[in-house]
Amino acid sequence: MLHVALANIKTYARRYIAVILAVAIGTAFLAATLAVNTSTRATLKNSLGDTYKNADLVAFQDWELAPDDPDFKYTELGLKQVQQIRELPQISTAYGTAFVSGELRTADDGYGVMLQPVSAEQNLGGMELLEGRAPLNSNEIILDDEHAQKMLVSVGDTVGLTGADSATRDVKVVGIQRTSTDPMLSGYALVGMQESAWEKSAGESAQFQNIVIDARDSVPAAQQALAAYLAEHRMIDVSVMTADEKVINDVAMLTDGTDQLTIVLLVFALVALVVTGLVVVNTFNVVIAQRTRELALLRTLGAKRQQIRSSVLIEALVIGVVASLLGVALAVALMAGLIQLVHVMVPSMSYATLALNTTGLVVPVVVGILMTVIAASLPARRAMKLAPLAALRPFDAASVKNRAGKLRIVFGILLTLAGGGLLAWGAIAGSLPIAFGGGLLSFPGILMLASLFVPASVFGIGKLVAGRSVAGKLAALNAVRNPGRTTATATALLIGVTLVSMIMVGGQTAKASLNNSIAGEYPVDLTVSLYERAVNEAKTQDLARELGSLDGIEETSTFLAGSVETKGGDNEGGFSLMGVDPQTFSKVVLDQNIVPEDGQIIRFNTGGEEQPKKLTVGGRELDVKVSSASLFQDLVTKDTLESLKTGDAADEYAGVLIKVAPDLSNSEITALVEQIADVANVESYMVSGGVVENAMFSQVIDVLLAIVSALLAVAVLIALIGVANTLSLSVLERTRENSLLRALGLKKKQLRAMLAQEAVLIGGVAALLGLVLGVVYGLLGAHATLSAIGEMSYEIPWLQLALVLVVSIVAALLASVTPGRRAAKLSPVQGLATE
């Protein structure tokens, strides 16, 4: 039967194009997902594991190995242990990685830095020297290139350096090192010091996070030597891993032991594969139905049922192999292109790497082949149940008139009711797991009931919009002539549109709710904190005026922050106060109720605890007023703060409060924050406030929406291929009928219009039903997820949903072009002569 199967593929190749496209896209999605997983690990090795990515082994303190003994003394990894490891004959190099905070001062300003130990003989602490040389004594340092440019520091300059020991000394910059790609470090200025100088500067903090080791000859021999060393010194809470294993361990710690990105992508890949399966089943159903006469002829010539079935499955196998290999090749090309695009668009992410493994290439091919064969086996089994002389006819859809339909409908009703109840309960109770479980139950239930409402909806809407148009009336009738095929085609599109609209509605509601919640908590738009500068009121006022001249800033006000001692009930102890000028503060604050008066303190972040009416602060009794808003310090006037006995003057710092224009977009706010940081000569993290968090949350949600919508668009694309395939097969199936209509006076234009309206009806109704379901699921899901944060703000992105509907209809219309041209091109005489 192999020859028969190959001959059929050659004969009916045109009918299988949509199947090959659908399987290729679904397989490409799965292959790209697995490639993202391996590439992410390789990229994280280049970023998160920047200090040990080229090493053989990494030793580190593993808290999980420590015994459950309160008297256990944890291992301290210091320079002494590093030097002992270096003396092992199996070890080539070893260095410790650690970072302690310090301060670097130039002639113009001071900067917070992270101090790290480096050694010229020990791979420079995992860093790469770009210019100059490594530090050789305690009076020399190296600085990372990005921050050296910002500080206007170059090789040969002398700067002031204060370490954890609080001692300040002049040091010479002797080299420039590459800025770390580790996301935990890249935001800090890195200062490399000679190891013994770093140990002295770090003081009690001179403990290494990792000891990075290179083997002299054999890595296993080095591992054995390290194991013996650790056992000899009773370091039972220290683990040794390869660099790859350490990256995986670090990622697991950051993600609580799970690879969330891969899990999420696999979910979307599963959606795409399910939709692909529907297209495959639909296509083979129609193709086999059209060949029933041919298959019956083979039966009469002696072919057994099993041979016929094997022939069909061989066709599916060949198609699955070709499409799956094509999909994997497409995924690899796509990932390579994306990596190159990242390199071009974001030069700072040059460490992004494409990594492939055997599993990531083989699994998608196997899954694609199995999915195609399994999807084709059901139509093949149905075809074999027909008598040898059965006439060509389509199969029955699920309805209340057959046993399979009754069972499907019963199960669909049960799943829909049970899942809908759980979904409603989860939304009311604010429990996402319950609501999610309800969605997982109810949605398949609705899909099982699709054969009851999809054909009826298509026919009803088709009849409604047809009017007196002959083509429109014929389109409405033709769209439901085969309810099973129409339902399968519409269901594939309905799945994709439902998920897309659900994400859009949920994301928009989440954005609105979070924005309102943040706006209610933060009484000031932006706060610029000048932590690292000595307090100078005149300079702070000058900075406030300079910032006030920037576009997008409406008002500014200065503040002074310091620590004081308090007495009064449960509030004894020290805490921070912010002193403001009531006159200018009232212009920047969003809530006038928190403008302090002299002799008054506005308390924030009290956790709902009852506060005394009077509080002794810094030796003075103040009136207490409580606010539900959020500020880092409690508020008093500047005059009040000056009258109090404050703590250490070194803890005091000044800053500027800012009110921004209300009509700024998220991108404009982000740009404004960068501009403010440049003008104030501070790091961006020192500019904070409600609008920053608003912009951050909105950008995160917008990015997630864009990514998720793009992922789900794959499922929609596959479903639209199914619409085109259904029309193509329908045209082939109705060749004689269409030709008879032409012979009776139907024009080519009307025939094309009939097929176009058929496609629009199927695509439009599926999209419309998907939008309705998506809005319901999105609102209930958002309520279940976010109701705990406070009052909900429900928003439906009508414009975006309308765009989804329009795109679905236009795409369905385009899908009808080729089948319509093919049908209109055939002459009535040729069509009527077709068997």
Confidence of residue 771 (pLDDT cuts 50, 70, 90): very high
Tokens linked to 56: 């053989």
Mean pLDDT, residues 99-122 taken together: 84
The answer to whether the CB of 354 falls within 8 A of the CB of 335 is yes
Is the pLDDT at 140 greater than 60? The verdict is: yes
Mean pLDDT, residues 634-647 taken together: 79
What residues are paired with 104 via a beta bridge? Answer: 111, 161
Q: Are strands 553-567 and 526-530 parallel, antiparallel or unpaired?
A: unpaired
Mean pLDDT, residues 7-25 taken together: 72
Task: Compute CA distances 278 → 309, 654, 672, 795, whole Å.
Answer: 20, 64, 49, 33
What digits encode the pLDDT tens for the residues 702-739? 665 665 566 566 666 766 776 676 667 666 666 777 78
Go through the chain and tell me how many residues it has: 835
Which one is predicted more confidently, 150 or 612?
Answer: 150
Task: Compute CA distances 256 → 107, 251, 431, whole Å.
Answer: 45, 8, 21
Confidence of residue 574 (pLDDT cuts 50, 70, 90): low
What digits encode the pLDDT tens for the residues 368-426? 898 888 877 877 776 566 566 553 444 444 444 555 567 878 888 999 999 889 988 98
| Residue 503, Ramachandran bin (φ over 0: left; ψ between -120 and 50: alpha; else beta) | alpha
Mean pLDDT, residues 461-476 taken together: 77
Which of these, 246, 282, 252, lies nearest to 484 by C-alpha position?
282
Which residues have a Cβ under 8 Å from the Cβ of 228 and sit 6 or more positions away?
none
Q: How far apart are CA 794 and CA 789, in angstroms?
A: 14
Mean pLDDT, residues 447-476 taken together: 80
What digits encode the pLDDT tens for the residues 40-99? 777 776 776 667 777 889 999 887 788 877 778 888 888 889 899 999 999 998 988 888
Mean pLDDT of the chain: 79
Which one is predicted more confidently, 154 or 563?
Answer: 154
Structural domain boundaries of the chain? 1-58+237-395, 59-216, 407-448, 452-522+689-835, 523-686
pLDDT of residue 714: 66
Mean pLDDT, residues 525-547 taken together: 83
pLDDT of residue 790: 62
Q: How far apart are CA 422 and CA 619, in angstroms?
A: 58
pLDDT of residue 754: 82
Q: Which of 142-156, 296-310, 476-490, 716-730 has the lowest mean pLDDT?
A: 716-730
Task: Compute CA distances 275 → 209, 331, 450, 492, 719, whole Å.
Answer: 48, 18, 15, 5, 6
pLDDT of residue 807: 85
Residue 324 has a CB neighbour count (10 Å cut-off) of: 27
pLDDT of residue 722: 66
**DSSP code at position 208:** -
Which one is predicted more confidently, 410 or 247?
Answer: 410
Q: Which of 439-448, 449-458, 519-528, 707-716 has the lowest mean pLDDT?
A: 707-716
Which one is predicted more confidently, 562 or 90?
Answer: 90
Tokens linked to 505: 């509605």
Percent of the chain with pLDDT over 70: 77
Is the pLDDT at 303 greater than 90? The verdict is: no
Which one is predicted more confidently, 73 or 325?
Answer: 325
Mean pLDDT, residues 520-544 taken together: 80
Residue 58, classed as helix, strand or coil, is strand
Residue 7, classed as helix, strand or coil, is helix
Q: How far apart are CA 208 and CA 82, in angstroms?
A: 9
